Amino acid sequence: MSDALLTPQLIRLGCRPADKEAAIREAGALLAAAGCIAPDYIASLLRREAVANTYLGNGIAIPHGMAEDRAQVLRTGIAILQIPDGLEWNPGQRTHLLCAIAARSDDHLVMLRQLTRLLQDEARLLPLLSTADPGELIAALAQPAEALPPDAEAHDLDLCEEWRLDYPNGLHARPAALWVEAARRSPAQLQVRHGNLAADAKNLISLLQLALRQGALLTVSARGPQAAEGLRQLLQAMREASLAEQTAAAIAAQRAAGQRKRALWQPSGRAVSLPGISASPGLAIGTVRILAAAQLNVADRPVSLTEGGDRLHEALAATRRQLSQLADATQAALGAAEADIFRAQAELLNDTDLITLSCQLMVAGHGVEWSWHQAVERLAEKLSALGNPLLAARAADLRDAGRRVLFQLDPSLQSRAPAEFGADTILLAADLAPSDTASLDPARIKGLATAHGGPTSHTAILARTLGLPALVAAGNALLDVADGSPAILDGDSGRLYLDPSEQDLASARGWQQRQNEERLRQQNERQEPGQTADGRRIEIAANLNRPEQVAGALEGGAEGVGLMRTEFLFLERETAPDEDEQHRTYLAMQQALQGRPLIVRALDIGGDKQVPYLKLPREDNPFLGMRGARLLLRRRELLEPQLRALYRAANSGKPLSIMFPMISSLKEITRLKGWCEGIRKELDAPTVPIGIMVEVPAAALLADQLAPYVDFFSIGTNDLTQYALAIDRQHPELAAEADSLHPAVLRLIRHTVRGAAEHRRWVGVCGGIAGDPLGAAILAGLGVDELSMSPRDIAAVKAMLRRHDYARLQGLAEQALACDSAEEVRQLLEVLA
């Protein structure tokens, strides 16, 4: 084996990882540190485990990444963890040697063959499980094939057929498993031969031992009962796997080409760096400051239940107010999705088990601070122990909210806030709570790096929203970096460069300057109308909640409000707003817009937005239950005051349209329009345009039938993606796969546009993909008339549209519709960047 594949630096002896995930992360970190993989490939190693068993047998496991992520492999390499005590890989499977494989092509197959040989040679294998010399492992795995004992000459079976392997990456575990599955369906003896080596087609290890590369000429043979049919089935499986293998290789090549085209900063020479996982893009130059983990030594000062209960009640109420204010501030500055993080935390504080346990501990003679802290930790640990990633994320939020209550009870426990650090700070921490991240001042904190966490954590989401370059999961070595030392944090590659040279600092500053100049150019042109290079008009609007947000949106380039979310009027209060309060709000929004378009979405409650005082029934799956129009049609006391307030506002003569959420049938439209018309006549108000949200596939597929009954469509791509792909968009592990550029979602959008066009109706998009410049470009190419987004995205989207002709965007849209994955669509769109 080549030294490039396995070196002493890629071997770690005497390991004791806590579990399989920890072991894979440790091996992945070795590969990343050696420059074999991009840090993101570690997540690919873990994803592979979710869909395949990489345990070879006899104590050896070979974790490797997904084929579609091969572009993240920088060079081929193998990292080995020796685990003398063994580690349960899957039930009944115990691993002692973990060999993590990063392969650009089929360079690793020779080494894989050596591993499979070791499985059958216990005399050579057992000493390797406890050796203290990494050289022995290298020698065992680097022994050239020609030095092995010669195999006996292989002979074919009775029926034979030749086939040339056309898999771009050779025969690896995934296609080999398909061969085995097909072979085992036959009672015949089946064999695959390459040269003088033959393998039992029903034995995965035997097949992998052949170390087959692309172009290998194979003889497939059979003998015994139903031999001809068995041979046919096996060859069919081998050929059918070709398409999947070639497609995966093509996507990987496209991704690699796209990455090469992106202008990412690169240091000169061999800069010392710590790898992590990219969480938020961008480059930060500054001084490292370590945020020490808060050590909470909570004193146990016993109090009576009466006194402790009163203090806890006051602390909980104060914390709820604090979280409500933080949610409002976050929503105004960052957006509704980010604000929901803190609204969800406030809801956690209503947990009856949490309050009951705190009181039980106080009755047992403990202090209120100690009791509360213990109750939070016990419940959080219980959630984490369930092994559900959603519940583990909820445990982190519970600790964050619980800490706020604790600080209300005893302010002296509050540690130094990150805001105390000076300008040009790159903040390093074991982890950061969402509330800490949201309170950072981007004028001083230039970048974030954490030892733990993941790219889908709330902290990572907030960092991206704040525009702070960030990396996560860098390991405990991050906390050993010298406080006060200079560094460059590259959020794109997920690396922290330590003590950079003057040359690298100058290069990084130049890169930053070019990026800043591009952003400045976009800002200077943000008031230009939204249109393509050849003048096709596409209205660019803002998604807002409150009248006071309008001025900032208009200053940012918004041409109107494409989505006013009215649910904020109903949240964080004890009763629903009355008609007069709503009327004042809608009128203020109209006045702030000074004659520009305003689209108001009727109350959209349900799913992930719950309002306790409405006493909605508990549902096992609220996203498929009573939400949007379904709720409005059953709760007239909610809809009627809102419609009356809206039609009163329409009497002002300023533009106003009404939009209903979660429509899935014509019956819903006609009933809602009937209510609208009755109230309009009662108030003698003008007719206003009435539109619907396209959030479920049914509405998209029925667009041509619904169009005669509505004035416009607005596509909510976040929900449409969730329902089309059957992926909860809040799931911490799956959310990244809920990509609105998936061809299935794009086809639903095109179907909506075409159905609307038949009846001269316009179509907008107010989902998250509208604010992604690449997404906006493809939406424009699909024929969308309006894009509504967060105000912070407007300048970049307008700049993207102005760079390209409509015909080019149409052509790319047609190509995107023919893709088979969101990843392939994004690779296709790299030409626009």
Question: Could you give the residue numbers annotated as active site?
Answer: 64, 172, 458, 766
Dist CA 443 CA 463 (whole Å)? 13
| Residue 1: closest CA among 87, 82, 118, 90 | 118
| Residue 4: closest CA among 107, 148, 132, 116 | 107
| Residue 561: closest CA among 592, 583, 534, 532 | 592
**If you search the block for the tokens 């002709």, which residue do you land on?**
805
**Tokens at 539, concatenated:** 């209205």
Could you give the C-alpha distances from 97 to 55, 131, 712, in angstroms and in order? 10, 11, 61
Coil/strand/helix, residue 388: coil
> Strand 786-789 vs strand 762-765: parallel, antiparallel, or unpaired?
parallel
Full 3-state SS string of 484-527: CCEEEEECCCCEEEECCCHHHHHHHHHHHHHHHHHHHHHHHCCC
**Tokens at 301, concatenated:** 């000062």
Neighbouring CB atoms inside 10 A of 195's CB total 13
Could you give the C-alpha distances from 818 to 317, 715, 755, 811, 824, in angstroms and in order? 54, 21, 20, 11, 10
Cβ atoms 785, 747 nearer than 8 A: no
Dist CA 644 CA 701 (whole Å)? 32
Q: Which amino acid is at 425?
A: T
Q: Which residues contact 38 (CB under 8 A, 6 or more apart)?
A: 32, 72, 73, 74, 493, 494
Cβ atoms 780, 731 nearer than 8 A: no
Coil/strand/helix, residue 606: strand
Q: Which of the 8 DSSP states describes residue 680? A: H
Please list, residue by residue across 547-560, b when 16 or more beta carbons sit within 10 angstroms of its beta carbon and e when fewer do: bebbeebbebbbbb
Cβ atoms 80, 9 nearer than 8 A: no
β-sheet bridge partners, residue 82? 97
Dist CA 755 CA 113 (whole Å)? 56
